[in-house]
Chain A
Amino acid sequence: RKEVEQDPGPFNVPEGATVAFNCTYSNSASQSFFWYRQDCRKEPKLLMSVYSSGNEDGRFTAQLNRASQYISLLIRDSKLSDSATYLCVVTPLSGGYNKLIFGAGTRLAVHP
């Protein structure tokens, strides 16, 4: 089983749409959770950390369910500039708590 699994995508949505990405992780001891964004041929950039209580940053809402080992990202009112690959990322508790484990990513294409 992959350590971090994401929706395969791509998601093609019109501007203004709401889109949700899902992610599951296999290591129950995972400690920290993030969503990163990666534009084509660019470096990953942190979009937001994910907290147990859920958190929101503008149009973006992240949720974490530790019991189900499930993470989600909701994007409301999609913009053309949201087009990118969204990476679900976890860090393990053991073996180096700062190592980032990446999912393969879900590609989002927002069209006019």
Chain B
Amino acid sequence: EPEVTQTPSHQVTQMGQEVILRCVPISNHLYFYWYRQILGQKVEFLVSFYNNEISEKSEIFDDQFSVERPDGSNFTLKIRSTKLEDSAMYFCASSEEGLGKTQYFGPGTRLLVL
């Protein structure tokens, strides 16, 4: 069964450093997403991406965040200057085009900012 993959599974970084989280969505999917989950809290939407551009972003997704699809398979989330409060689990998801289509989540990257 096709699945979304994410690398790395864990990332530890120093405050102020840049991190890039990588995702390989399911191959025939056209919508890509990033969500985050701070420990003990709910899953929160960050950004959706379609047709090589951001289709929607949340208030959390400020100027320090960016997304890119650098080639035909990878989808990345970059955090330019990490803060302590960026520590969370980051989930990538993908879906087919269309209303109410199931979003399939990757296993997540656990980011710890020290």
Are A91 and B100 touching (Cβ within 8 A)? yes
| Residues B3-59 near A (CB distance < 8 A) | 31, 33, 35, 41-45, 48, 55-56
Are A44 and B105 touching (Cβ within 8 A)? yes
Are B91 and A44 touching (Cβ within 8 A)? yes
Q: Interface readout for A56-98 with B: 1 if CB under 8 Å, 0 if not?
A: 0000000000000000000000000000000100010001111
Are A87 and B43 touching (Cβ within 8 A)? yes
Per DSSP, are chain A's interface residues mostly helix, strand or loop, or mixed? loop
Residue in B closest to A104 when the chains form the complex, CB atoms:
B42
Chain B residues near A87 (CB, 8 Å)? 42-43
Task: Report the minimum CB–CB distance from B26 to chain A (whole Å).
Answer: 13
What residues of chain B have their CB less than 8 Å away from a CB belonging to chain A? 31, 33, 35, 41-45, 48, 55-56, 89, 91, 93, 95, 99-108, 110
Is A1 engaged at the interface, CB distance under 8 Å to the other chain? no
Can you list 10 contacts pairing A with B, beta carbon distance less than 8 Å? A31-B99, A42-B107, A49-B100, A49-B102, A87-B43, A96-B48, A98-B33, A98-B95, A99-B56, A100-B93
A102 to B33, CA, bound (A): 14
A41 to B55, CA, bound (A): 28
- Picked from B43, B56, B108, the residue with its CB within 8 Å of the CB of A102 is B43
Residue in B closest to A91 when the chains form the complex, CB atoms:
B100
Task: Report the minimum CB–CB distance from B7 to chain A (whole Å).
Answer: 14
Are A99 and B41 touching (Cβ within 8 A)? no
A55 to B99, CA, bound (A): 19
Chain B residues near A91 (CB, 8 Å)? 100
A98 to B31, CA, bound (A): 9
Are A43 and B56 touching (Cβ within 8 A)? no
Is A13 engaged at the interface, CB distance under 8 Å to the other chain? no
